[in-house]
Structure 1
Amino acid sequence: MVSPFETDLKWEAFLEFGTRQFFKRKTAIYVQGTMGEGFYYLHQGLVKIVTSTVKGKDRLVNIVVPGQIMGLQSMDQQTHFTTAIAVKNAVVYHFSCKQFLEMLKVRPELLSLLTQTISQKMRILLDAINMKALTSEEQIARLLLNICEDFKNHEVQLSQQELANCVGLTRITVYKILKIWKEEGIIEMRNRTFVIKRQDLLKLPQLTTQTVRTV
């Protein structure tokens, strides 16, 4: 989960080429193993990308925030190897391969943007693999920091349950960790919003047993 690369290109200028779609919270936008055609741009909401293990459990791969794209693996007419699920009600724009070719005629530099995005997704997958070795505290901290970085804001508009759903932990585990962080002045919780007050303490290696106690 890395922050989006800097670009002068604004996807909003190309939304007319896409098809606007709405997905309710907990609804799958695309499903692992199904055939796709094109990619999606997240306009509003929050989406988690998961992959199913051989044991049938979902593992978090990435969190997609507004302004980012997803589902690029189907651009080569292959099946999706991940599932995208709306954490919040989401507005997305779907761009078929044909629509993307039309966009390239207007702005050929979009090809470079697509290449950069594919490279970014590869780094995200590597980051997701490394997440497996992290503790529950470190996973939550990494997720909050990534969302803050993507939104350029220290406020994360998620409920505890939504946060638990994103990282694949129980709500009780998330509640205990957040309670400790609140007592230590690391975060504040205001009406389904987490305010990061001490971002430095959530970064490794600062996030140690001296910062958070075992839950």
Structure 2
Amino acid sequence: MVSPFETDLKWETLLKYGTRQFVKAKTAIYKQETLGEGFYYLHKGLVKIVTSTFKGKDRLVNIVVPGQIMGLQTMDQQPHFTTAIAVKNAVIYHFSCTQFLETLKVQPELLPLLTQTINQKMRILLTAINMKALTSEEQIARLLLNICDDYKNHEVPLTQQELADCAGLTRITVYKILKAWKERGIIEINNRTFVVKRPDMLKPPHLTANTTRPV
């Protein structure tokens, strides 16, 4: 079965039905508790999806890479239960419910695709809930592996600061973790990207959780 996140070429042919928007880095695309109408397709850039806890802290739910869609939970025109923030400058396409119905007339197989994507989002949400019990090192490892899996290669186009922003950790914490991994030959740092040389070492039981647990 084709993954719902491997359909970027199909979506590219349908972008004319959406509304193109440019979003600067660190800008919210949509916010938690605001009313939504439709969903978004990420054409370029990187977006993090967070949710606010009752203590007012943001928790990372997902990282969206080009070719993926977000904001599906408001297809029923209900409030967003997450916030989407551009980590890098992003180009997105917004599909209103009306626009999506027009798209379905051209590409009716997108309806089951949308259902698959919603199911995938629910699995991601369950994974994010479990992230709370992970150490800082384990969180970074999980984040890198997820991005590698989505990009279908082991090069992660993020700076240390962007990685820290995605994970909700300090830059110093991320720097110490990456430095240790580089010394062990697990990753390679090239300018504004990371290359995961030994992805197996970022999975249990190989990963050594030697950092403090997040507060």
Q: Is the 8 A contact 1:18 1:99 kept in 2?
A: yes
Determine if the alignment matches structure 1 residue 165 to structure 2 residue 165: yes
Distance 2:211 2:136 in 1: 10
Distance 2:119 2:4 in 1: 11
Determine if the alignment matches structure 1 residue 144 to structure 2 residue 147: no
Indicate the SS of the match to 2:133: coil
Paired amino acid for 1:32: Q
TM-score w.r.t. the length of structure 2 is: 0.94
Q: Which runs of 5+ in 1 are unaligned?
A: none
Paired amino acid for 2:43: H
Where does residue 131 of structure 2 map in the other structure? 131
TM-score w.r.t. the length of structure 1 is: 0.94
Distance 2:89 2:9 in 1: 26
Where does residue 107 of structure 1 map in the other structure? 107
Q: Which runs of 5+ in 2 are unaligned?
A: none
User: 1:26/1:159 Cα in 2 relative to 1: closer, same or farther (>3 Å)?
Assistant: same
Distance 1:214 1:79 in 2: 37
Indicate the SS of the match to 1:49: strand
4+ runs deviating over 3 angstroms:
3-9
Where does residue 71 of structure 1 map in the other structure? 71
Q: Is the 8 A contact 1:49 1:64 kept in 2?
A: yes
Indicate the SS of the match to 1:10: helix
User: 1:72/1:8 Cα in 2 relative to 1: closer, same or farther (>3 Å)?
Assistant: closer
Q: Tell me the number of residue pairs that the alignment of Structure 1 and Structure 2 aligns.
A: 210
Residue 200 of structure 1: CA displacement? Answer: 0.8
Distance 2:64 2:211 in 1: 29
User: 1:171/1:189 Cα in 2 relative to 1: closer, same or farther (>3 Å)?
Assistant: same
Q: What is the RMSD of the two structures over their aligned residues, measured on CA atoms?
A: 1.5
Q: Is the 8 A contact 2:42 2:65 kept in 1?
A: yes
Q: Percent identity?
A: 82
Determine if the alignment matches structure 1 residue 10 to structure 2 residue 10: yes
Residue 204 of structure 1: CA displacement? Answer: 2.0
Where does residue 116 of structure 1 map in the other structure? 116
Distance 1:173 1:120 in 2: 30
